[in-house]
Each structure stands twice: as structure tokens, then as C-alpha cells.
Structure 1
Amino acid sequence: MLRRFRPFLSSRHKYVAVVALLVLLVLVRGLPFGSHRQDADVGDRPRYLYRSAFRENPDTAYERQLSEALRDIERRQVALHGKGGPSETIWQIILGKEPSAEHRGADSLQFQEKNPEWAYKLVTTEWAEEFVTITLSSIPGLASLYHAYPHHVLRADLLRYLILWYHGGYYADGDIFPARSIKECPSLQDSVFETEDPDISLVVGIEIDEPFASPQKMRDWHWVRSYSFIQYTIFAPRRFSPLLREVIVRVLSHTKRHLDESNIFLGARYNELTTLEITGPGVFTDAILDVLSNTLPASHPFVSESVAADKGLGDLISPSTGGLTERVTWAPFHRISDPRCAKGMEAKNGAELGGLCVLPVNAWGNGQRHSGAENFQSAHACVNHRFGGTWKPWKQTWKKYLFG
């Protein structure tokens, strides 16, 4: 009599199967989608202000030294070449590889082809080295901090700020697809391209606009804060933006602090959180909001709207004095449908703003599953970001994700 075949697993196979299942569960739980309940998406209050731990007891002496060194460079360049007109150069960065059509990819090539009237510059490792160590050699600590980064993504973050501050122009990551040419972008036509001489030194887009996000949604999406500006695409119509100057100061200051506080044997380690806060969208967003707060008068709409939105929340109430801090928060940029700009001339007497325009989410941040974003085919879309994000833990191999 034939016996019925019964499949079985050896102890070794069972062990492998269990480990594989656990790994799969960990990876799925870490992904920013899926099974969280709809009622877990919304918190009981909005968050328009985030306080970074890196701004607690910052090294103000080093930051003043950096700011003055940057200003010295600005003064020397203006004395030699004048202020100059609008900058029309497209910048992209490729580090650690020899530049080629294959390495650039179709999106990068098409970005250049779709904007033939703009100059194009691909920043290589060699070019960046000379820029940092020779052109900007007077910035204290820049070269050593730049070389201390363990990953190219950190260097690329800092480089885009330095390049746009020093040269001006339009920066785009290599995985940015041009939905239309730069000058055909509706949001830019309605803001900086309205005039040939705009009083604007920096244009940013919106990436995250979820001030009502619940703690669960924050965990699901790996968000440090519930709002942020985009830094995978940045436009500096003019050189020497005071906003970018402050971004650079903060990035270098935060990097130095991270190094100083790191383990003497293991060195400075950068996970997703520290990358976002030291060189990425976190420090970029905070610096811009703080410059607006320090330069705009209390009567400016950005300030008054921020204060009004804080009623009942108390984030702007000083815990030490009990007084109200009149500053700019995320509130003026929540769910905007048109560009919101503050021109340089709107700064209070003696303050340097340079002018800022914030574009609505669908200009540069379309294609996301949050923040009110439409799809890539949105009528407002100017670029589409493919969101490669290979530096992020959940984009890497399971071993890298689990064990670093």
C-alpha cells in the first residue's frame, strides 16, 4: 500500500523560514504605507513649530565666525564682479563616479535638454574638492568637516547649499524628471519670473505638509517633523542668498557638534534622523523659518498668521517668561495653492532677508501620497521626483536595514 506523501521541513529549514518571516515583518512594518488605521492618521492638534535638539545650546561663537567668513567672501566677490544679474545655470551632483550618460540617467539628460537656454554644470568629485578646498578655503573648518562625512549623500547636501549660495542657479537631484521647462513652470511664472529683476534670492518647494499628522503616521512615514521644505530641487535666482548663508552656517555647526559628541572609537555615525537634521530637509527648513522670523517685522502677514494659528496651542509661549514669541512658523505655508513670497525689501531695517518664495506642493512635490499632493500628471507639476532615496534604510538591503 502506497503511503501518502507528507511534505516536511528539516529543523534547519524551519529556522531559515522563521528568520525570513521575521525579516519580512520588520521590513513591512518599516515601510511608509499599508495597514495603519485611518483614525490614526490625524492627531488632536496641529504642529506648526518643531524645535531641533541641535538648536539647544548651539556653538554661537563658531556660528558667528562662519557667518562672518561667508560675508567676507560675498563682499570680495561683489567688489570684484558686482552683484550680477539673475543666475541661469542648472547644477547637478555626481560624487564617487566618473560622469557618463549611463551614470547620469535619462532624467538628468532630459533636464538639460528641456532647458537649452540654461547653462548646465555637472559637479564631480574632483570639481567639488577644488571648490571646497581652494575657492572656499577661508571658511573655517569647511574642508575638514566636508571630508569627515562618511557618505556622499551628506557631502552632496552641503555642496548644493554652497554652490547655490556662491554661484546661484537651479539645483536638481539626478532623479528629477522635468515635467516642463523651468521658465514654463506656472508657479515660477507667477512669482520670480514676473519681473526681470526679482527681489528674491531663494525659491523652495513643499515636501511634507501634514501638521495634523498623528504620532503613528509620523512613525509610519519616518518623519522627524510634520512639515518640511524640499531640498532635492532648489532655485537661487541670485548669488549670496542670506537664507542659504544661514543654512550653510547651521549645517557646518551641526556637523561639528555631531563629530565632537561622537564616540572616540566608533566615530560619528549617521542614521536617517541625523542625516535629516544635520544636512538634509530638517536643518534646511529650520534655517529658512528662523531667518524669516529674525528679519520680518511683527506686522508681516507671515508673522501675524503664525501667531494667530498658535492660539490655543501655546507653542509660541515662552516657558521661562510666559510671553509670546512673535515668529514665523509653518502655518503660513499650510495648504497653499499659490506661491507665497516675502521680498527682500520687506525685511525690517538693518535686517538681511534676500527674499524668499515658497511654491505650493504640486509644483515640485507632486506624486506623493500625503500633503494634498496630486499625481505626476498634475496641471501644476513642474518637476517629478522619482524618489530614489537609496540612502534611506528601507531602500537598502535587509541586512543593511536591520544591522546598519
Structure 2
Amino acid sequence: MRRFRPATSSRRKYYIVVALLLVLGHAHSHVADQPRYLYRSTFRDNPDTAYEQQLSQALRDIEEQQLTLHGPAGPSDTIWQIILGKDPGAEERGPDSLEFEEKNSEWKYKLATTEWAEEFVTITLSSIPGLSTLYHAYPHHVLRADLLRYLILWYYGGYYADTDVFPARSIKSCPSLQKSVFKTDMQDISLVVGVEIDEPFASAQKMHDWHWVRSYGFIQYTMFAPRQFSPLLREIIVRVLSHTKRHLDESNVFIGARYNELTTLEITGPGVFTDAILDVLSDTLPASHPFVSESVTADTGLGELISPATGGLTQRVTWAPFSGLSAPRCVQGSEAKAGVDLGGLCVLPINAWGNGQRHSGAENFFSTHACINHRFGGTWKPWKQSWKKYLFG
């Protein structure tokens, strides 16, 4: 007699897969009626301004000391990668890291190991108040690696890439970089970042499904500092240390500071990274700058820039100027208000560094615009460990 159990079992699996795909497809299709271009982090509610000013001054003092001793450095041509808590042998780097170095053989290559990072934090940067204590207080290497990449590029300059980033082409042949920071008339740039998330119309359901805190964000798994001592990176470092200190101060004295996905993103990851860049632009660019005027225009009917305290309009830079980019968008340091330090910024479209995603208009890894690709492992995220968490939060 013919038995149908295998066919029934296969059919059941088929229906389950189809149902899951429909659930995911439906959830990810939700859009909001209005876009969101501004996110207000709770870590910026009553920040420790005294500590942040102390940090900023300490970083400026290091900059002045180094420039006095060595003079202005030339363009930074070092590729930096980080491996913490592992044997730094080539076998630990993996094929992506090795290929990245080989593809960019004209660049110097430096691997920041646990031992190297320890000396850098505790000796080279020992004058930064609280740095060593906060660095060692992190319970996970991913948090230390976040802070370390900002410190390295601020102090030395160069190109940073996670070890699971692999090259679609060499850095120097990247079309977006050739059109921006590598142009001869684009010398006043201290930081180049890419777009990772650009979904201003994402609904609350989509935000939940994708585990997003904000519906936009810059990439920090790879970045480029054409020169050392970027004012943008300086502020990012200040924010990370300030947020870390606050998290520690508010944690249970017996249990210690806990870091979930949200706190990791907001304290050391893309959240604080993105916010700090937009805030520096807001503080340094004149009200007549296109970034400001475009932000204000995009806020018409939204009210995100209306001050709750005064009811007046806050003229600042939001995500609006960087939404839907199809080409690099840059602001040079010379465009800042008199007496303030910007350093200059270039933002690359998502198809340069952020392909392979199922959102934000990203293309595939084989896009002609792709410069580097990222495998988006994110294994430190709790929901990456479980399909149930992926589907239901």
C-alpha cells in the first residue's frame, strides 16, 4: 500500500515556509503616512555637559600637542581592522580580511589586537579622563571595538573596515570616492561615511520587525578618515564615553551594567555615531546652508523641529539632506560658521558600502556601484540567535 506521510510532511513544510514568507513580506511592506527625519535619544536628556566638556578639552589638548610635535600629517593611507580576544594570526582574520589587504596593497595595513589596544588606550591616550576605566568596564568585545575604531581613526586617520567586510573593488577605484574625497578640489574633508538605513517612511511595525531604533543611520562597520583629528570623530568619542559613564552610573551596583541590543546601538554603535554627526553639522553650519534649509523644508507639516519648550522652529540638520542619495554629498570644513570646527564630511549613497540589504533601495553585492560589501553577520545581536526572535521580537 502506498504511504503518503512523506508527501504530507513535505507539503506541511511547504505551507509553513510560504506562511512565514507572507508574514515577513506583509510586515516589511508597511509604510507610515509621514516620514521621520529626526530621532531624539534618551541619552541626550540631561547629558553630563561638564564631563563632556572635560573630554572635549582633553582630546583637543592631545591634538594640539601632536601637531606641535609633528606638524600637520599628510593624507592617511593605512587600513585598520580590529580583532579583540583572539589569536591575531592570519587564520583568525579569515579570507575577507586577507582579501581586503591584498586588494589594497598600496595601503599600509594595521591589525589592532587586544595587546595593541591595551597600550593605545592606557598609555597613548592616558590623558583622556575615564577612558581606561570605561573601556575596561564593557562586558563585551563588540563595545570595545566600537569605541576603539573611533579612537584609532581620530588619532591616526585612515580607512577602517570590520573583518567581515570584503572588497568589491579597491578603495582607490571606488566610484563614489573618486567623485568625492579623492577629487583635487575636495581636500577639506576629515570623515567619509556611508548610508546603512534610509527608510524615513518606515511604520512602527516595520521598525519592530527590523529591530530598528531609528529609521535612518550611517554605517560604522567601515569608514574613512582622510586625515587625523577629525572634529566629527572627536565629538563621537565624547558622546560614547559620556553615554557609557551614564549607563554605568545608572546601573545596579550589584548586577552591573547590562547591554542589550538597544543600549549597544545607542551607547557605542550606529545610533550615537549617526546622532553625533548630525548634531555637529547642526552646531557648525550656518542657518543659510542647504543642509539646514532642506531639513527645515522637509519638516513642514511634521513638527519634529518645533521646540516643545518655546514652540519655535529649531533650525538644524536632520536626516532629510541624506535621504535618497544617488551620489555622494559633501560639506567642506570651510563651509562652517566662523570660529567653529567642522572638519568636513562626505556621505556616500547606500549603493557604495551598504548593498545586499532588503531595504533602503540597496542593490545587490554585484552592483556596478559597489565598493565594499558587508556580510551583516551581527551575531552579537540576541535576535540573530533565534528565528523566533526575528519573527516575533
Query: Structure 1's 33 and 138: CA in aligned 2 closer, same or farther, altered over 3 A?
Result: farther
- Choose which of 147, 169, 177 in structure 1 pairs with 2:158: 169
Partner of 2:79: 90
- Choose which of 369, 383, 390 in structure 2 pairs with 1:380: 369
Establish whether residue 142 from structure 1 lines up as the match of residue 131 from structure 2. yes
Distance 2:24 2:244 in 1: 36
| CA displacement at 1:327 relative to structure 2 | 0.3
Query: Structure 1's 174 and 302: CA in aligned 2 closer, same or farther, altered over 3 A?
Result: same
Q: Which amino acid aligns with 2:83?
A: I
Establish whether residue 311 from structure 1 lines up as the match of residue 303 from structure 2. no
- Choose which of 218, 222, 225 in structure 1 pairs with 2:214: 225
Partner of 1:129: 118
Partner of 1:81: 70
Query: Structure 1's 309 and 397: CA in aligned 2 closer, same or farther, altered over 3 A?
Result: closer
Q: Give the TM-score, by structure 1 length.
A: 0.90
Q: What SS does the aligned partner of 1:177 have?
A: strand
Question: What do the CA deviations read for 1:82-118 (whole angstroms, capped 9, x no partner)?
Answer: 1111100000000001112221000000000000110
| CA displacement at 1:175 relative to structure 2 | 0.3
Q: Which has the larger radius of gyration?
A: 1
Distance 2:250 2:64 in 1: 34
Say how many residue pairs are matched: 377
Query: Structure 1's 337 and 92: CA in aligned 2 closer, same or farther, altered over 3 A?
Result: same
In the TM superposition, 1:230-241 aligns within 5 A as: 230-241=219-230
| CA displacement at 1:336 relative to structure 2 | 0.6
Distance 1:351 1:213 in 2: 35
> What is the aligned-residue identity percentage?
80
- Choose which of 229, 240, 244 in structure 2 pairs with 1:251: 240
Establish whether residue 54 from structure 1 lines up as the match of residue 43 from structure 2. yes
Question: What do the CA deviations read for 1:129-158 (whole angstroms, capped 9, x no partner)?
Answer: 000000000000000000000000000000
Distance 1:198 1:114 in 2: 25
Distance 1:398 1:154 in 2: 24
Q: What SS does the aligned partner of 1:216 have?
A: helix
Q: Give the TM-score, by structure 2 length.
A: 0.92
| CA displacement at 1:35 relative to structure 2 | 2.6
Partner of 2:11: none
Kept after mapping to 2: 8 A contact 1:302/1:332: yes
- How large is the Cα RMSD of the aligned pairs? 2.3
Partner of 1:391: 380
Partner of 1:345: 334
Question: What do the CA deviations read for 1:6-26 (whole angstroms, capped 9, x no partner)?
Answer: x9xxxxxxxxxxxxxxxxx9x
Distance 2:247 2:137 in 1: 11
Specify every segment of 5 or more residues in structure 2 that has no aligned partner in the other structure, as ranges: 6-15
- Choose which of 291, 294, 298 in structure 2 pairs with 1:302: 291
Establish whether residue 71 from structure 1 lines up as the match of residue 49 from structure 2. no
Partner of 1:274: 263
Q: Which amino acid aligns with 2:81?
A: Q
| CA displacement at 1:36 relative to structure 2 | 5.0
